[in-house]
Amino acid sequence: MILAVLLVGSARTIRAEGCPEHLFTVERSKNANIVVYDAQRTSSGELDPKRPVTVYWRLNAEKGQRADLNRIERQRAYGFDAHPVEDHPGSYRMVFNAGKKRTFLVRIRDGCAEAIATIHGHPAVVTRIFVKSKEEGMMPTVESVEIFGRGVASGAPVEEKFTP
């Protein structure tokens, strides 16, 4: 299998041909900027145990450039912890700082990195999240979250909308 390699600082994004460009993205009602989550892999194609997932802004409302999250964004909104999963070697449990109820299993399957979460009660590969919010003062209030993916077993599109 041919691997495409993009070096970003000391982190390495390796994507097998035919795999999605990103692990998943978070779009927001606020503007066109999106939060991107990418799997970080070693030269052998495994998830990097030091940093299996990286997160950053793609500033589509500007010129599409990449930018780091600030401290508050990492701590409260889009940051996460990733820990090895003992019964799934090479996989990581990803837990968002903003919502610890829904966890993601990040793994490599058939050469592609994927994030698995429960969507409408079924395991699904997450592709995109949409956050609808309203601006009130300094911090926006989240009105709803939609999570999109495809069923692990069926490959069929699945989605779920909820209020945090």
Range of the domain at 129: 3-162
Q: Print pLDDT tens along the chain (164 aa).
A: 333 333 333 345 555 678 999 999 999 999 999 999 999 999 999 999 999 999 999 999 888 899 999 999 999 889 999 999 999 999 999 999 887 788 999 999 999 999 999 999 999 999 999 999 988 777 778 899 999 999 999 999 999 999 98
pLDDT score of 148:
98
Contact 119, 128 (CB under 8 A): no
Q: How many domains does the chain have?
A: 1
pLDDT score of 100:
79
pTM to 2 decimal places: 0.86
